[in-house]
């Protein structure tokens, strides 16, 4: 009876260890692979060094990130820590900003007519 309860105890400890250590690690790995799969030019990213920039080119070994106008750096894909804004989100926000600018310009020109 003693050996079977010891065996059950060991199995329970191993199961808890798996749930606490390996399961979250696998989830994070899947999330990272999905993030890298969706990475495309135009996305705003943050590197592991804390540098923000816009993805210009995505390759197997390197990702080119523009960190300032006419300043681009090449980083390893694992150096991308977070996608701040996806390329599709950025295009949508730019179109909204352009539309807002147009409406502001129209209001300014109509106000000048008074």
pTM: 0.59
Q: What phi and psi values does residue 51 have, to the nearest 5 degrees? A: -90, 130
| pLDDT of 50 higher than 90 | yes
Average pLDDT over residues 91-106: 59
Q: Which helix (H) or strand (E) holds 73?
A: strand 71-75
For the chain, what are the domain ranges? 1-38, 40-114
pLDDT above 80 (res 99) = no
CA atoms 78, 80, 83, 89: torsion sign: negative
pLDDT value at 46 more than 70: yes
Q: Where are the alpha helices (DSSP H) in the chain?
A: 2-17, 23-38, 87-112
Which top CATH class is 40-114? mainly beta
> What is the arithmetic mean of pLDDT over 20-43?
89
């Amino acid at each position: 009876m003693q050996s079977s309860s010891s065996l059950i105890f060991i199995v329970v400890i191993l199961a808890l260890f798996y749930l606490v250590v390996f399961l979250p690690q696998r989830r994070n790995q899947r999330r990272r692979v999905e993030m890298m799969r969706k990475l495309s030019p135009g996305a705003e990213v943050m590197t592991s060094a804390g540098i923000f920039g816009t993805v210009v080119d995505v390759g197997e070994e390197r990702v080119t990130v523009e960190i300032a106008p006419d300043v681009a750096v090449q980083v390893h894909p694992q150096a991308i820590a977070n996608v701040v804004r996806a390329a599709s989100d950025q295009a949508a926000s730019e179109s909204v900003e352009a539309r807002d600018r147009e409406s502001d310009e129209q209001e300014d020109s109509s106000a000048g007519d008074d």
